[in-house]
Amino acid sequence: LGKTIEYIASTESTQIIAHQLAQTGVSHGTAVLAEEQTAGRGRMARKWDSAYGKGIWMSIILRPDIPVQRAPQFTLIAAVAVVRAIEEVTGLRPDIKWPNDILVNGKKCTGILTELQSDADGIQALIIGIGLNANQEADDFSEEVRNIATSLKMETGKHVSRQELVRSILFYLEQYTEIYIKEGFGVLKLMWESYSTTIGKKVRARMARETLEGIAEGITDDGVLQLRTADGKLHGIYSADIEMEK
């Protein structure tokens, strides 16, 4: 992965560029990196702070030959790859909060947004957007997220190399994609679970239409969160905001 890297100083969102490139037929593994995004986007139509030179704002185009329903697994695989890279480069021990938030000491340092181009033949491109807060100070973050966000520099007290992180993320994502294609999701799911802070906890899942409280028992092979409510029912959660009890 990352044999072709499209590097841009400033753009609205690397996701937009990656979508355009994917339509022109660029190859599997092409990555788009920007120093700054003026309209970085997060999950659920939120915005993503992407200050110039402070973080990794990257979108990776993958072309896996898998059915559309299995696409969410790639978000989970990408989260494991990023955690491994952060461990390797900084020595920190991040956790994953379902589905895709990477936390250090309970605060979010990375978000992952997976988007899809598909048609009747299946997935044309999977666009994995990774936003990693590397070298921000607290006041680089907007007020809305200052209490819940962190950067690797804030956690280690040291400047971190974005180049080493990008190299490491691409290395692990490539390795895990190969494992996935050869052996399926099994081992990677175990890895995801070993980093997850969500599983086994009492959580509140806020969804568009309802909020459910219960114990997060695990994820299915499709990456769906299994939530057991007090009445004993098991609910499959596809997309939600999760609050956890400590």
- Can residue 59 be called a binding residue for ligand BTN (CB under 6 A)? yes
Q: Binding ligand BTN by CB under 6 A: which of 19, 28, 43, 107? A: 43
DSSP letters along 75-109, please? HHHHHHHHHHHHHHHH----EEETTTEEEETTEEE
Cβ proximity to ligand BTN: between 110 and 177 the closer is: 110
Closest contact distance (angstroms) between CB of 35 and ligand BTN is 12
Radius of gyration of the chain (CA): 17
Residue 94 or 111: the one with the smaller Cβ distance to ligand BTN is 111
Which is closer to ligand BTN, CB of 42 or CB of 64? 42
CB atoms within 10 A of CB 178: 10
Q: Look up residue 225 and give its two tokens.
A: 């969160």
Among candidate residues 40, 97, 95, the one with its CA nearest the CA of residue 241: 97
What residue number has its CB nearest to ligand BTN?
111
Rule CB under 6 A: say whether 242 interacts with ligand BTN.
no
The DSSP code sequence of 4-60 is SEEEEEEES-HHHHHHHHHHTTPPTT-EEEEEEESS-B-GGG-B----TTTEEEEEE
Size of the site for ligand BTN (CB under 6 A): 21
Nearer CB in complex with ligand BTN: 111/223: 111
- Least separation in angstroms between residue 10's CB and ligand BTN is 13
Please tell me whether residue 141 binds ligand BTN under the rule CB under 6 A: no
Q: Is 58 in the site for ligand BTN (CB under 6 A)?
A: yes
Distance CA 109, CA 101 (A): 8
Q: Which residues, 91 to 120, sit near ligand BTN by CB under 6 A? A: 101, 111-113
Q: Tokens at residue 14, please?
A: 């690397």
Count the neighbouring beta carbons within 10 Å of the beta carbon of residue 113.
22
**Residue list, annotated binding site for biotin:** 37, 41-43, 108
Contact set with ligand BTN (CB under 6 A): 13-15, 37, 40-43, 46, 48, 50, 57-59, 101, 111-113, 129-131
